[in-house]
Structure 1
Amino acid sequence: MPRRYGGWTPNGLCSLFVCDVASFGHRSRTDLDRHKIRTALYEGLRRSFDDSDVPYDGCYREDRGDGALVVVPPSVDTALLLTSVTARLRAEVRRHNDVSIEPARMRLRLAVHTGIARTDAEGLVGTAVNHAFRILEAPHLKEILRLTGAELALITSERVHDDVIRHGLGLVNPAEYHRIELRVKETVTSAWITVPGLAAPVRPVPAAPPTITDAGVVVSAVPTTPDPPQLPPPPAAITIADGSPVLGDVVDRALGVRQLRSRHLRDQIVAELPLALATLIKPRRSGDDRTDLTAIICSCEEHPNGLSDLLRVVRQFAGDSVEVDDLRKSIDELGQA
């Protein structure tokens, strides 16, 4: 029977929110791990919707094994799904991961679409439902989530972009979204991707042009690298080269800034850097605070304007202080060395 929550089932225009746990079936996970993930996912969904003034019990819901489908009534502002619900769900995922062993952690792919959907005796049906799940399977979305190591990544349909994102409705920031072209099964369409928490628009993963076989069948050449169940493992940590006292002074000054000494706040600072720089930094991070900061600073030094970007973001978190000014001076000296 249809899931009649709150006395409402879809029967016309509605907004669809689909989520999927990346690499849910990976062999490194046990059934106990999967049970913990599903429990955390559904508890997180309920809190995220309820706290966003979208009553969870008033939505239509279907379990999808490694994810869920939530359909909200037409009276609900679609912009809330893109902003408040997604932001709260990201926080729920982060909290769960902070207290979980690696195989029990999760990262989510989200998709939002609007369209006509109806329920029958078995559940939800409609082209809009098919489209939501098609864009959720976009290889670009999987690859972006893998490369950034983010808690979640969101993809929306062209219709949601045209109706909501493009106009900046509610708390939506159009600059955070980047357009991609995708081909999944028989669906060829445009969609829009964002990774909440990253300061720059997400750039699509380069894809080779499609090829045509002798039988005339078009084969997409979009990369289909599977998602690993954990964040990309860091390579050997970067260390300060011998005879580089100026760089060592920058690290010392950085350790003097409270927001850079805290691993949690340091993670947030890195996430606010431009995407290309944050992506360069993340695989290099490891070790204690000093080793981690060394990797961050060395990566910023390699990247155009990287140290300036780092200082700008640190100021956003720490304001103007003696410690931040000392860091600025040591960065200036490094640039002149």
Structure 2
Amino acid sequence: MQAEALHYWIMVLDVESFSPRKNPVQRAVRRAMYEVVEESLSRAGIAGQDVVMEDRGDGILILVPSTIPPVLLAGDFIRELHDNLRERAVLTSTAAAMRFRVALHQGLASRDEHGWSGDAINTTFRLVDAKPLRDVLTAAHHAHLVFSVSSDVYRDVVQHGYRPLDPAAYLPVRFEAKHGQPIEAWVTVPGYSAPPGLPPLEVAARPVPTGTSSPAAQASTAQAPATGTISITGNTVQGDVVAGDKTVYVDGAYPGLR
């Protein structure tokens, strides 16, 4: 058993509204959850690289060695996960449909005979359980998942705009976890220009890391008509310089977004 703590990229995935389902449906959802996650890890080129998955009932704790590029997690894996969920939604009954909350953090973790522990793991669970993240997924009616990264991951990875990451699609949130611990995170919803369901005053008040535009500027940009080489046909944005063509859904999170 590993005694010393090592650095990992720490991801937690949780299924929305798992507990109210009947036992047979829960079993079907859990089976589908693992199929989706394992297939998405494989498609993103992450599977088989000493990735650890620990079962959490209605979710999974995923520990990825620090040697794996984080862009594969925040970019490729999330995209594959979203596409996989979207494909399955067409074929799945309403009772067994899945939507995910996903959070990504980094830090030290250690293993004993019973499993994994560490403050960074605790923080990642607080991110995925945060009320703002739940509210965003509730408001994003067309979404298949909502994705949150810690301020550390946003500052060190997302804000630099590595392909296929799109920093402009993230907005900051701040909340209190257990014992009044303040936590800052950044939230995005694949397919949405900005995550819906965030309190406007909270969004406007959040500090922004150096080198990024303010949330207000991001919202303003999202409301502006497409210009330059970007064109919109129906619900498809064509010519996105960050991630190529994408389908965009808007649920009226900000005035003017219809």
* Equivalent of residue 21 in structure 1, options 1, 15, 22: 15
Identify which of 155, 169, 176 aligns with 1:162: 155
Paired position in structure 2 for 1:35: 27
Q: Which AA in structure 1 matches 2:110?
A: R
113 and 304 in structure 1: CA distance in 2 versus 1, 3 angstrom threshold: closer
| Contact in 2 for aligned 1:80/1:170 (Cα 8 Å) | no
Aligned-residue offset at 1:305: 8.0
Q: 1:176 aligns with which of 165, 169, 181?
A: 169
List, as ranges, runs of 4+ consecutive aligned residues in structure 1 with deviation greater than 6 Å: none
- 1:58 partner SS: coil
CA distance in 1: counterparts of 2:4 and 2:200, whole angstroms: 37
Q: Which residue in 2 is equivalent to 1:84?
A: 76
Give the Cα separation in 2 of the matches to 1:179 and 1:118: 29
Q: CA shift at 1:49, angstroms?
A: 0.7
Q: Distance in 1 between matches of 2:15 and 2:4?
A: 24
Shift of the alpha carbon at 1:204? 5.3
Shift of the 143–56 alpha-carbon distance from structure 1 to 2, 3 Å rule, reads farther
Q: Which has the higher contact order (CA 8 A, sep 6+)?
A: 2
Is 1:140 aligned with 2:132?
yes
1:140-196 alpha-carbon deviations (Å, 9 max, x no partner)? 110110111210000110110111011112421111110011112123111000001
> How far apart, CA to CA, are the structure 2 residues paired with 1:122 and 1:69?
14
Task: Calculate the TM-score normalised by the size of structure 1.
Answer: 0.59
Structure 1 or 2: more helix by fraction: 1
Q: C-alpha distance in 1, partners of 2:107/2:96? A: 34
Q: Distance in 2 between matches of 1:42 and 1:57?
A: 17
- C-alpha contact (below 8 Å) 2:176/2:183 kept by paired residues: yes
Q: Which residue of 2 aligns with 1:253?
A: none
Counterpart-to-counterpart distance in 1, 2:119 and 2:164: 28
Instruction: Spell out the pairing of 1:253-332 with structure 2 (5 A cutoff).
Output: 272-273=248-249, 275-277=250-252, 304=256, 306=258
Seq. identity, %: 29
Unaligned ranges ≥5, structure 1: 3-8, 210-258, 261-268, 281-302, 307-337
The Cα shift of 1:94 comes to 1.8
Give yes or no for contact 1:19–1:108 (8 Å, CA) kept in 2: yes
* Structure number with bigger Rg: 1
Paired residue type of 1:168: G
CA distance in 1, matches of 2:62, 2:157: 19
**Alpha-carbon spacing, 1:177–1:153, altered in 2? closer, same or farther (3 Å):** same
CA contact (8 A) 1:60 1:72 kept: yes
- Confirm whether residue 151 of structure 1 aligns to residue 110 of structure 2: no
C-alpha distance in structure 2 between counterparts of 1:183 and 1:271, whole Å: 33
Count of paired positions: 216
Structure 1 position 207, deviation (Å): 8.6
Residue 217 (structure 1) aligns with: none
Aligned equivalent of 1:114: 106
Give yes or no for the alignment of 1:65 onto 2:57. yes
The CA deviation at 1:11 is 3.7
SS at match of 2:165: coil
